[in-house]
C-alpha cells in the first residue's frame, strides 16, 4: 500500500492478502494455506500489475474508528462482489444507500486519513469524524468516462457512530459516506483498463458512415457490481450510448432501450471466432442495414480486447438471430483513411519544396518532388499538410504569411494564396495546416490583433472562421484534425505555458449555410506544462511531445480522453520540434529534431535518422 497509508497507522500486516508465486491468487481468511511455492505480502497499490487480486476482509470485533476507516478504504481497492464486505464498514442504512458505481475519484496517492475530529456537541464515545485528503488528478463519471484534472486538493468527510450489530454489540461504523469510489492512481490502474466503444459520426444522410472511438474505463476481470467480465462490461457501456462529451456529434444505430438480455454476464467467441450477443426485444426494431451497422459497432468495440479475438459478430434478438457481420466487412465503416494504401510521408526540403517518401517504403524510400507548384515552384514553403486521399496538399510559405492549396494528382499553375495573415512577425502568422477525414482543410491564424481558426470546405473557397468559445484568452499555436472529423487537438498558449486541449467539432446546417464550432475544450495530459508538438496516432490516441514542470522533454502517447499511462512513454530523442504518426500503428512514428534532422521510430526498434535536411514531415491528414 502507498506510504501515506502506512503512515495512517493501519494494522495492515493483519489484513494483508497473500500472493502465490504464480502472481494471480490472493488469500485472506482462508481455511488452508498452500504447501508449495513462496508466499509474499502484496502491496495493493503496486502500479500496473492487473494480475494481483485483493480480497476484502470485514472489520474485526472491537475495531477502533481509525481501523474502520482504514479497512473501508482498503476494501474499496478489492474485487469484493457487489462490495458486500466493503459495506460491512457502514451502518445498515448507509450500506443500503451507498452507490459505489456513481463514479471514481482518482488521487495521485491513496487517500490520507486525518482525525479524529469531534465537532460541536459530539460525544466522542458515540460519534466521531475523519477527513480524507489527497491530490485529485482525475475523475471517472457514472458513464465510465475519464477526465484528467489539473492537480487539486481533495477533502471529504467520513462520519462514524456506534451501532448495534447482530449479536447486540456496539461497534463503530461509518454513517456518512460519499457515493462512488476513492482510489489512488496506482490502484485505479490496477483495477481498470481503457477501452474504446464506437459510434457513428453524425452528419448528412448522404455522408459515408464513419465510426468514432469513445474511450471509457472498465473493470479488469469481473466488475464487482454487475458481475460481468471485461468484454461484457464493454458491450454494456456501448449499448448505454455515447459519453456526454461526445454525444452531440455521434449517433448509435442501436434502437433506444436496447440492452443485453437479462442475466448475461459473459461474452466470448466460439471455436469459430463468432461472438453471439443476446439482446432484449428492443433490438428487434432494427432493419438489416441498421443491424449490420450495430454489429460493426460491437466488432470495433471489442477488437482491442486481445482476449476476445472476434472474427464475426452475430446479434440475437428476442426471436432469434438478427444479423451477422464479419471483421473484414466492418472495415467499410472506418473513418476515411484516404486511398487505402500505406500512407506516404511528405516533408519540406532544405530548398522549401514539398517532397514525398513513398508509403510502401515505410520511411526508407527515396524522396521525390510532388507534382505541381509545391514541388517545383519558386515560392519556398515552411510547412505542409496533405489531404487523406493524397489528391491535394496545402503548404504555408516560408515567411508563414500565405497558405497555398495545390493538386498532387496533376500539373497546375500556381494559385493565389487561399489564406493570408496580416501579422507583423512570422511566428504570429499561420500554423501548419491539417485536413480532416471529410476533406476539409484547417489552419490557425495566430495574429495577436485578430487570432482565428479557419476552415476551407474541400480545401477551396472562402475561408470560414470557426468559433472556439473555450479558449478564454489563449491562442491556438498548432492544430491537428482527427480522421473522423469530430475532434481537434490544439496546442494553446496562455500565460507563458503551452498546453494540449481536445475539442469537439460541432456542425449545424449544411452546404454554404453550415456553421461549425469547436466546443467544450478539455485539457489533455495536464501534467505537461510545455507541449511542443502533437499528432493523432490511430482512432483515439495522440503522440505528444512536452515537458512536465521542471522536467525534460518526453515523447508519449495520450488517449483522446486525456489519460496517460507509464507504459505510454516512448524512447527518448533529443530536441523534437514536430512529430507525425499514421492511422496504422505499424507504420513508423516520425519526428523533426534540431540536431538529427528527420528521424523515425519503427515498432520494436530505436530511433533512426531518415533525412539530415528537411522539416515538417507529415502523414496525410
For 1-52, the three-class secondary structure string (H helix, E strand, C coil) is: CCHHHHHCCCCHHHHCCEEECCCCCEECCCCCCCCCCCEEECCCCCCCCCCC
Q: Please, are residues 68 and 115 in contact by the beta-carbon 8 Å criterion?
A: no
Name the domain boundary from 162, 191, 220.
Answer: 191
Residue 344 CB burial class (10 angstroms; 0-12, 13-18, ≥19):
buried
pLDDT per residue over 478-530, tens digit each? 999 998 899 999 999 998 899 999 999 999 887 767 899 999 999 998 888 89
Decide if 39 is inside a domain: yes
Decide if 235 is inside a domain: no
Decide if 111 is inside a domain: yes
Query: What is the distance between the alpha carbons of residues 577 and 432, in angstroms, rounded to a whole number?
Result: 13
411-435 as b/e: b if 16+ CB within 10 A = eeeeeebbbebebeeeebbbbbbbb
Decide if 487 is inside a domain: yes
Query: What is the distance between the alpha carbons of residues 394 and 595, in angstroms, rounded to a whole number?
Result: 27
Decide if 438 is inside a domain: yes
Q: What's the grid cell of residue 595? A: 540536431
Query: What is the distance between the alpha carbons of residues 335 and 435, in angstroms, rounded to a whole number?
Result: 13
Query: What is the distance between the alpha carbons of residues 331 and 487, in angstroms, rounded to a whole number?
Result: 21
Name the domain boundary from 139, 169, 191.
Answer: 191
Query: What is the distance between the alpha carbons of residues 453 and 364, in angstroms, rounded to a whole number?
Result: 35
Query: What is the distance between the alpha carbons of residues 404 and 411, in angstroms, rounded to a whole number?
Result: 15
| Domain ranges, residue 433 | 345-618
What's the structural domain count of the chain?
Answer: 2
pLDDT for residue 335: 64
Query: What is the distance between the alpha carbons of residues 535 and 543, in angstroms, rounded to a whole number?
Result: 5
Q: What's the grid cell of residue 128? A: 466521531
Instruction: Using alpha carbons, list the distances in angstroms from residue 55 to 12, 27, 65, 84.
Output: 13, 7, 21, 11
Name the domain boundary from 191, 221, 239.
Answer: 191
CATH number of the domain bearing residue 364: 2.120.10.30
Question: What are the residue ranges in the chain where pLDDT is below 70?
Answer: 1-51, 120-122, 204-206, 306-308, 335-342, 363, 512, 566-567
pTM, whole model, 2 decimals?
0.87
Q: Is the peptide bond before 319 cis (omega within 30 degrees of 0)?
A: no
Location of C-alpha cell 464498514: 89
Decide if 394 is inside a domain: yes
Q: Please, are residues 154 and 133 in contact by the beta-carbon 8 Å criterion?
A: yes
Query: What is the distance between the alpha carbons of residues 126 and 170, in angstroms, rounded to a whole number?
Result: 10
Per-residue DSSP letter, 589: E
Decide if 124 is inside a domain: yes
Decide if 271 is inside a domain: no
pLDDT for residue 17: 37
pLDDT for residue 374: 96
Amino acid at each position: 500500500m502507498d506510504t501515506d497509508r502506512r503512515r495512517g497507522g493501519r494494522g495492515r500486516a493483519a489484513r494483508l492478502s497473500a500472493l502465490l508465486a504464480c502472481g494471480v491468487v490472493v488469500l485472506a481468511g482462508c481455511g488452508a494455506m498452500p504447501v508449495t511455492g513462496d508466499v509474499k505480502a502484496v502491496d495493493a497499490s503496486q502500479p500496473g500489475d492487473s494480475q494481483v487480486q485483493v480480497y476484502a476482509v470485514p472489520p474485526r470485533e472491537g475495531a477502533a474508528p481509525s481501523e474502520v476507516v482504514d479497512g473501508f478504504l482498503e476494501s474499496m481497492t478489492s474485487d469484493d462482489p457487489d462490495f458486500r464486505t466493503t459495506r460491512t464498514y457502514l451502518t445498515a442504512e448507509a450500506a443500503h444507500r451507498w452507490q459505489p458505481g456513481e463514479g471514481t475519484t482518482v488521487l495521485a496517492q491513496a487517500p490520507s486519513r486525518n482525525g479524529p475530529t469531534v465537532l460541536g456537541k459530539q460525544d466522542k464515545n458515540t460519534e466521531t469524524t475523519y477527513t480524507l485528503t489527497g491530490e485529485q488528478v482525475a475523475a471517472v463519471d457514472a458513464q465510465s468516462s475519464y477526465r484528467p484534472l489539473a492537480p487539486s486538493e481533495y477533502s471529504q468527510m467520513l462520519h462514524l457512530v456506534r451501532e448495534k450489530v447482530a449479536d447486540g454489540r456496539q461497534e463503530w461504523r461509518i454513517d456518512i459516506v460519499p457515493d462512488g469510489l476513492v482510489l489512488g492512481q496506482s490502484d485505479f490502474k490496477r483495477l481498470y483498463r481503457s477501452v474504446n466503444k464506437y459510434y457513428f459520426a453524425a452528419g448528412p444522410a448522404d455522408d459515408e458512415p464513419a465510426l468514432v472511438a469513445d474511450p471509457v474505463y472498465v473493470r479488469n476481470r469481473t466488475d464487482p457490481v454487475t458481475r460481468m467480465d471485461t468484454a461484457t462490461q464493454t458491450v454494456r457501456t456501448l449499448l448505454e450510448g455515447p459519453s456526454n462529451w461526445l454525444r452531440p456529434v455521434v449517433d448509435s444505430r442501436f434502437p433506444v432501450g436496447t440492452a443485453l438480455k437479462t442475466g448475461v454476464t459473459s461474452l466470448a467467441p466460439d471455436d469459430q471466432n463468432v461472438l453471439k450477443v443476446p439482446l432484449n426485444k428492443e433490438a428487434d426494431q432494427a432493419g438489416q442495414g441498421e443491424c449490420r451497422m450495430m454489429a460493426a459497432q460491437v466488432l470495433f468495440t471489442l477488437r482491442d480486447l486481445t482476449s476476445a479475438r472476434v472474427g464475426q459478430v452475430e446479434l440475437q434478438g428476442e426471436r432469434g438471430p438478427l444479423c451477422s457481420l464479419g471483421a473484414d466487412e466492418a472495415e467499410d465503416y472506418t473513418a476515411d483513411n484516404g486511398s487505402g494504401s500505406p500512407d506516404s510521408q511528405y516533408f519540406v526540403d532544405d530548398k522549401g519544396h514539398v517532397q514525398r517518401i513513398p508509403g510502401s517504403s515505410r520511411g526508407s524510400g527515396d524522396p521525390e518532388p510532388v507534382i505541381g507548384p509545391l514541388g517545383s515552384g519558386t515560392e519556398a514553403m515552411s510547412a505542409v499538410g496533405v489531404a487523406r486521399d493524397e489528391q491535394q496538399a496545402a503548404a504555408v510559405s516560408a515567411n508563414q504569411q500565405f497558405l497555398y492549396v495545390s493538386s498532387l494528382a496533376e500539373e497546375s499553375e500556381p494559385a493565389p494564396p487561399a489564406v493570408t495573415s496580416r501579422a507583423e512577425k512570422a511566428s504570429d502568422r499561420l500554423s501548419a495546416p491539417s485536413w480532416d477525414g471529410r476533406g476539409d482543410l484547417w489552419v490557425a491564424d495566430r495574429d495577436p490583433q485578430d487570432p482565428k481558426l479557419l476552415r476551407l470546405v474541400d480545401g477551396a473557397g472562402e475561408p470560414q472562421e470557426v468559433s472556439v468559445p473555450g479558449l478564454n484568452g489563449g491562442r491556438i499555436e498548432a492544430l491537428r484534425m482527427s480522421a473522423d472529423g469530430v475532434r481537434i487537438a490544439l496546442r494553446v498558449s496562455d500565460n507563458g505555458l503551452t498546453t494540449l486541449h481536445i475539442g469537439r467539432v460541432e456542425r449545424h446546417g449544411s452546404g454554404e449555410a453550415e456553421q461549425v464550432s469547436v466546443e467544450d475544450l478539455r485539457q489533455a495530459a495536464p501534467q505537461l506544462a510545455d507541449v511542443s508538438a502533437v499528432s493523432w496516432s490511430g482512432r483515439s490516441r495522440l503522440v505528444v511531445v512536452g515537458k512536465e514542470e521542471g522536467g525534460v522533454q518526453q515523447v508519449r502517447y495520450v488517449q483522446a480522453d486525456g489519460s496517460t499511462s507509464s507504459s505510454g512513454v516512448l524512447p527518448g530523442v533529443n530536441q523534437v520540434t514536430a512529430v507525425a504518426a499514421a492511422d496504422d500503428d505499424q507504420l513508423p512514428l516520425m519526428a523533426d529534431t534540431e540536431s538529427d534532422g528527420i528521424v523515425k521510430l519503427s515498432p520494436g526498434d530505436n530511433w533512426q535518422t531518415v533525412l539530415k535536411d528537411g522539416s515538417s514531415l507529415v502523414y496525410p491528414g
